[in-house]
């Protein structure tokens, strides 16, 4: 059955996590609406009833009214207690993850969402989940504070550097849902978007089998996959376009002018240093906004990325 203010909310695709939130939202909104209407009617009534009719009219002195004072103290207190109890119950539900939840690790970094699955599958900005099964997301940030928010599931939680946080949901409809970052995290914060892809259970198992095992192929093919999975293309174009960072097209072997006026030839050592410590040599005309990848990629993975960059003439 629809509610009066349902139009203010997106579709509820995860009743187990969303119903309590929606119920509390409707309670607060409807109580506020009733108070707004009641106070407005009272204001109009008193403005008409006690309108000054002559110069001799005087407002009577009223020191207090016990019934009125008790009412405006007790009723808001009761409403506040109901809101607190309802909200606390919903919070406990969001913190109580079902035992059979499928666990996925989430890495947030400027300005992408990375997802790692138990069988080695990895995706960037696409979260694949099964319909009708609880999903637990164990989240961490690689750089600054982010916040994971899916309006259709009514789940939102800060994602912190050097600390794990988690949320859970259970999607009941196959399809897609939108992911946002809701903590300002830098230049491209508004572009830090991702999708939840909700599969039928059998389709999800097939997807896992197809995408399991991580990157594969020749060094160049693995490098290409890593550039996508690590979110490099968010800041570095492949076609020469200038965006947040220098383009990868024709980069290898190029002579770059650095912010201090010196020059450097882009070779294997420069690329490696730029990946692990991007602030060491910043190209002129660009800001140092890249997060260091020290500990996030192995030497072999760096070598594969370099081999791929060599092919982008």
112 shares its domain with 186: yes
Within-domain flag for 252: yes
Of the candidate ranges 1-10, 95-104, 167-176, 252-261, the one whose mean pLDDT is the lowest: 1-10
Confidence band of 85 (pLDDT split at 50, 70, 90)? very high
Tell me if 134 sits within 8 A of 168, measured CB to CB.
Answer: yes
Domain tally, the chain: 2
277 shares its domain with 255: yes
Within-domain flag for 4: no
Residue that wins the pLDDT comparison between 291 and 213? 291
pLDDT at 5 over 70: no
Decide which of 177, 211, 245 is a domain's last residue.
Answer: 211
Decide which of 182, 211, 240 is a domain's last residue.
Answer: 211
Range of the domain at 129: 102-211
Kind and range of the H or E element at 72?
helix 66-95
Question: CA nearest 157: which of 177, 187, 182?
Answer: 182
Q: What percent of the chain has pLDDT over 70?
A: 97
Span 135-159, average pLDDT:
93
Beta strands in the chain (DSSP E): 102-109, 112-116, 122-124, 126-130, 135-141, 146-150, 155-159, 165-169, 175-181, 194-199, 255-257, 263-265
Q: What is the pLDDT of residue 159?
A: 95
182 shares its domain with 246: no
106 shares its domain with 205: yes
Q: What is the pLDDT of residue 39?
A: 93
Instruction: Indicate the pTM of the whole model.
Output: 0.73
Q: What is the pLDDT of residue 18?
A: 87
**Integer Cα distance of 208 and 105 in angstroms:** 15
Confidence band of 1 (pLDDT split at 50, 70, 90)? very low
The token pair at 74 is 């007790």
Q: What is the pLDDT of residues 60-84, one digit of tens each?
A: 777 888 898 999 899 999 999 999 9
Within-domain flag for 300: yes
Q: What is the pLDDT of residues 24-65, one digit of tens each?
A: 999 999 999 999 999 999 999 988 888 877 777 777 777 888
Span 78-95, average pLDDT:
92
Span 202-210, average pLDDT:
91
199 shares its domain with 226: no
Residue that wins the pLDDT comparison between 93 and 55? 93
Dihedral angle sign, alpha carbons of residues 197, 199, 201, 207: negative
| Cβ neighbours of 246 (radius 10 Å) | 20
Question: CA nearest 307: which of 276, 267, 274?
Answer: 267
Q: What is the pLDDT of residue 268?
A: 86
Within-domain flag for 287: yes
Span 224-252, average pLDDT:
87
Q: Which residues are registered as beta bridge partners of 168? A: 136
Length of the chain: 313
Tell me the chain's radius of gyration from C-alpha atoms.
Answer: 28
Tell me if 139 sits within 8 A of 103, measured CB to CB.
Answer: no
Within-domain flag for 16: no
Using DSSP, state whether 257 is helix, strand or coil.
strand
């Amino acid at each position: 059955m629809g509610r009066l203010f349902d139009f203010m909310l997106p579709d509820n695709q995860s009743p187990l996590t969303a119903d309590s939130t929606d119920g509390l939202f409707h309670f607060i909104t409807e109580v506020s609406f009733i108070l707004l209407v009641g106070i407005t009617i009272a204001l109009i009534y008193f403005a008409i009833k006690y309108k000054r009719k002559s110069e001799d009219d005087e407002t009577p002195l009223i020191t207090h009214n016990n019934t009125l004072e008790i009412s405006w103290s007790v009723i808001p207190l009761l409403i506040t207690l109901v809101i607190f109890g309802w909200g606390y119950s919903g919070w406990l539900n969001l913190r109580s993850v079902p035992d059979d939840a499928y666990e996925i690790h989430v890495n947030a970094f400027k300005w992408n969402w990375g997802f790692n699955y138990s069988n080695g599958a990895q995706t960037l900005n696409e979260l694949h989940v099964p319909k009708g099964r609880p999903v637990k997301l164990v989240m961490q940030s690689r750089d600054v504070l982010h916040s994971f928010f899916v309006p259709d599931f009514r789940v939102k939680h800060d994602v912190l550097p050097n600390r794990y946080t988690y949320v859970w949901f259970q999607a009941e409809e196959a399809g897609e849902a939108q992911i946002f970052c809701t903590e300002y995290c830098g230049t491209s914060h508004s572009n830090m978007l991702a999708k939840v892809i909700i599969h039928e259970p059998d389709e999800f198992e097939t997807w896992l089998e197809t995408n399991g095992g991580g990157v594969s192929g020749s060094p160049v093919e693995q490098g290409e996959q890593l550039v996508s999975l690590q979110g490099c293309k968010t800041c570095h174009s492949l076609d020469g376009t200038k965006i947040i960072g220098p383009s990868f097209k024709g980069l290898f072997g190029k002579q770059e002018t650095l912010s201090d006026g010196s020059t450097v030839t882009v070779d294997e050592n420069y690329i490696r240093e730029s990946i692990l410590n991007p602030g060491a040599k910043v190209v002129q005309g660009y800001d140092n906004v890249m997060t260091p990848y020290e500990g996030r990629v192995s030497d072999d993975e760096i070598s594969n990325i370099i081999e791929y960059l060599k092919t982008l003439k």
